[in-house]
Chains A and B, each alone.
Chain A
């Protein structure tokens, strides 16, 4: 297996993530899509690390996973508050900052 297969998979996952982030209205699913994008990046990092025989890429991937966990913690807390206040996870209704 060459590098390209990994990169294609990663690009596919990233595009799925972007689509989710831009198109889904449910806040939880948007968060999940963000996770998809992050993991697409992780695949890229690990793949390049293996391809170039440099360990730094895998270390970065570990950092990304850790940060992603923290991010999900904060993100879910925000979603929870949105739900409590609006009684709905619909992101289209979160437009109080409209100019």
Chain B
């Protein structure tokens, strides 16, 4: 099955075609085909996972196969080789464009995670989207979304990866704008598309530079050459910077994170899919996939500051702070995703490769859980509203399953021992302390504190206090709660795959295997840091709880923004999202719309149109000359001359043709007589 992993993306792709063409005629409007195709993919991904784990476990001990040649690309872990399979798509000169799969630990992990989350989202959607006017269309695109992400995950070359990457972007555009009849939704879709496209320019640049540097699009070969030191450092810096811009756009990093909260305009399961499994993690995946490029390009091994870690660190802080002022539960989660993606990118930036993908893995589960939980609340609790202040509150009594799972997700996100988020976040922090990135250790700790606090606020507003909505809250149907429970289970247990404290490092062993990595430091569990990080989170929860659970009149912090001008200014700054949207829309877009557009218009009218019209005028004049001289005189003259010659000849000959038979006969006899005479004379 490892060699046939290409079937996994193929199944949802086929599902997409079938649902699109025949979905409306099926009894469940195509949902059954969509769920079945992703379910089959999930089963296959599980088989791949099991076979990969067996392969890793059966492999000889550390380093036994090292030096078996480049083909194996031995990692420092030893001899588990990735499974490569590809064929030539087309060839141009000596450049080979291939299509193929590259299955290593990272890809196996992603295949499992993406298909699992996607399957749960599919199941959830059958109920959540029931009765939607574009139900079939929705499921078709959900399938395509999954297929694109899986294509990206298994691809063995950068071109195929780019195809998957763009398909993912396209699907998210369509799904965010699923309810395009309302203008804000359509605007959000366009914003998401254009913002990520801005980043894609960087990705293109990175891929092109890597191609010219390494002479190939093959990812394993590129990584091999980078690790072998065959590519100059300058090229790597430029390539890594380009790729980093791609990651910033796709993974919602500061300063291109603004599309992600707006993307909440889409249906909630889509948000879950975008934030957990398919869209935003593509950027982090790219970072992990081409990690040697970043490692060498940004000199991560030397410690100190680098662009990737700074971007990640800033994003952690920006996302977490902005999550505090949101009224919309989904926007809280969106900013939380931004912040968590910041952790992953920062982890890549500080050399914590395993920690980054481990956090990606655990985050997928609890973030999908939180989004689906929010969807459940709006579906059954708040009458299709996401406003925490006006339409929620006190829902724990009405929706016990949603409440419990949501709290589990929140605790996991906050990094409370022993849930999944604790282990992955802790690993990032420990590695930061080990590799000489102490600064980012503190950023991560502040992030953990903020995360815990804003999630407490979110949980309080949604589930505690009095019900402020106007609907009749009740628990959601099983199609919605079952995925929640499954994800809650994973949110609790996923962390134990790499629980350093218990001596379990299976995640690292399994999913680092076969990946070409630079020499990384591995962090062992540190009790002190774990205690510190959990206590930061606990303090965050405590402060937020003090702030929100206290009665109004007893709380000294209430109304602070109205009383204190500095606090008020800070609040307004957050409300306006650091004025980043204003910067983009008014300064950049407005600037382009104003003088630049006018200048371009002038250029268009005068220079380009002038050139075009000039060419047209010259052409017309040439044509006139050609008409007068060549056509009228030469060609027509020849034709008419021939006709006139024929006519004149005919006019002369017509006198011979008298029409009188006897005259002809006379000519005949005269001729015979003359010939006879001539012959007689001759002989």
Q: Which A residues contact B (CB, under 8 angstroms)?
A: 18, 21-23, 30, 91-92, 94-99
Contact of A94 among B655, B661, B665, B666 (CB under 8 A): B661
Candidate in A23, A92, A95, A99 with the most chain B CB atoms within 10 angstroms: A99
Which residues of chain A come closer than 8 Å to B627, judged between CB atoms? none
B133 within 8 A of A: no
Contact of A21 among B654, B657, B660, B665 (CB under 8 A): B665
Besides A21-B665, A22-B662, A91-B660, 20 more A-B contacts (Cβ < 8 Å) are: A21-B662, A22-B666, A22-B669, A91-B661, A91-B662, A92-B660, A94-B660, A95-B658, A95-B659, A95-B660, A97-B657, A97-B659, A98-B657, A98-B658, A98-B660, A99-B653, A99-B655, A99-B656, A99-B657, A99-B658
Which residues of chain A come closer than 8 Å to B656, judged between CB atoms? 99
- Bound: A79/B662 CA distance, A: 15
- Bound: A97/B661 CA distance, A: 10
Closest Cβ of chain A: how far from B655's Cβ, in Å? 7
- Bound: A23/B669 CA distance, A: 13
- Bound: A22/B670 CA distance, A: 11
- Bound: A84/B440 CA distance, A: 125
Closest Cβ of chain B: how far from A38's Cβ, in Å? 15
Which residues of chain B come closer than 8 Å to A23, judged between CB atoms? 662
Closest Cβ of chain B: how far from A47's Cβ, in Å? 20
A23's closest neighbor in chain B, by CB? B662
Contact A98 B659 (CB under 8 A): yes
- Bound: A94/B663 CA distance, A: 12
- Bound: A30/B654 CA distance, A: 26
Which residues of chain A come closer than 8 Å to B662, judged between CB atoms? 21-23, 30, 91-92
Q: Which B residues contact A (CB, under 8 angstroms)?
A: 653-662, 665-666, 669
Which residues of chain B come closer than 8 Å to A99, judged between CB atoms? 653-659
Which residues of chain B come closer than 8 Å to A18, judged between CB atoms? 669
A98's closest neighbor in chain B, by CB? B659
Which residues of chain A come closer than 8 Å to B660, judged between CB atoms? 91-92, 94-95, 98
A-B contact pairs, 27 of them (CB 8 A): A21-B662, A21-B665, A22-B662, A22-B665, A22-B666, A22-B669, A30-B662, A91-B660, A91-B661, A91-B662, A92-B660, A92-B662, A94-B661, A95-B658, A95-B659, A95-B660, A97-B657, A97-B659, A98-B657, A98-B658, A98-B659, A99-B653, A99-B654, A99-B655, A99-B656, A99-B658, A99-B659
Closest Cβ of chain B: how far from A15's Cβ, in Å? 10
- Bound: A30/B666 CA distance, A: 13
Closest Cβ of chain A: how far from B286's Cβ, in Å? 92
A99's closest neighbor in chain B, by CB? B657
Contact A96 B669 (CB under 8 A): no
Give 3 nearest A-B pairs by CB, closest first: A99-B657, A98-B659, A95-B659
- Bound: A23/B659 CA distance, A: 16
- Bound: A96/B657 CA distance, A: 11
A25's closest neighbor in chain B, by CB? B662
- Bound: A5/B658 CA distance, A: 40
Closest Cβ of chain B: how far from A86's Cβ, in Å? 13
Which residues of chain A come closer than 8 Å to B653, judged between CB atoms? 99
A34's closest neighbor in chain B, by CB? B665
Closest Cβ of chain A: how far from B425's Cβ, in Å? 112
B651's closest neighbor in chain A, by CB? A99
Closest Cβ of chain A: how far from B266's Cβ, in Å? 90
Closest Cβ of chain B: how far from A48's Cβ, in Å? 19
- Bound: A23/B661 CA distance, A: 11
Closest Cβ of chain B: how far from A30's Cβ, in Å? 8
Which residues of chain B come closer than 8 Å to A96, judged between CB atoms? 659
Which residues of chain B come closer than 8 Å to A95, judged between CB atoms? 658-660
- Bound: A21/B662 CA distance, A: 7
Closest Cβ of chain B: how far from A89's Cβ, in Å? 13
- Bound: A94/B656 CA distance, A: 16
B672's closest neighbor in chain A, by CB? A18
B669's closest neighbor in chain A, by CB? A18
Which residues of chain B come closer than 8 Å to A91, judged between CB atoms? 660-662
- Bound: A94/B665 CA distance, A: 14
B655's closest neighbor in chain A, by CB? A99
A30's closest neighbor in chain B, by CB? B662
Candidate in B655, B657, B658, B661 with the most chain A CB atoms within 10 angstroms: B661
- Bound: A95/B657 CA distance, A: 10
Closest Cβ of chain B: how far from A96's Cβ, in Å? 6
Closest Cβ of chain A: how far from B665's Cβ, in Å? 6
Which residues of chain A come closer than 8 Å to B659, judged between CB atoms? 94-99
Which residues of chain B come closer than 8 Å to A30, judged between CB atoms? 662
Closest Cβ of chain A: how far from B680's Cβ, in Å? 15
Closest Cβ of chain B: how far from A62's Cβ, in Å? 26
- Bound: A96/B659 CA distance, A: 6
- Bound: A18/B665 CA distance, A: 9
A95's closest neighbor in chain B, by CB? B659
Candidate in A91, A95, A96 with the most chain B CB atoms within 10 angstroms: A95
Closest Cβ of chain B: how far from A88's Cβ, in Å? 15
- Bound: A30/B655 CA distance, A: 24
- Bound: A91/B662 CA distance, A: 8
Which residues of chain B come closer than 8 Å to A21, judged between CB atoms? 662, 665
Closest Cβ of chain B: how far from A44's Cβ, in Å? 15
B650's closest neighbor in chain A, by CB? A99
B660's closest neighbor in chain A, by CB? A95
B670's closest neighbor in chain A, by CB? A22
B661's closest neighbor in chain A, by CB? A91
Candidate in A91, A96, A97 with the most chain B CB atoms within 10 angstroms: A97
- Bound: A97/B659 CA distance, A: 5
- Bound: A53/B658 CA distance, A: 47
Closest Cβ of chain B: how far from A58's Cβ, in Å? 26
Closest Cβ of chain A: how far from B205's Cβ, in Å? 85
- Bound: A96/B653 CA distance, A: 17
Which residues of chain A come closer than 8 Å to B669, judged between CB atoms? 18, 22
A93's closest neighbor in chain B, by CB? B660
Closest Cβ of chain A: how far from B677's Cβ, in Å? 15
Which residues of chain A come closer than 8 Å to B666, judged between CB atoms? 22
B673's closest neighbor in chain A, by CB? A18
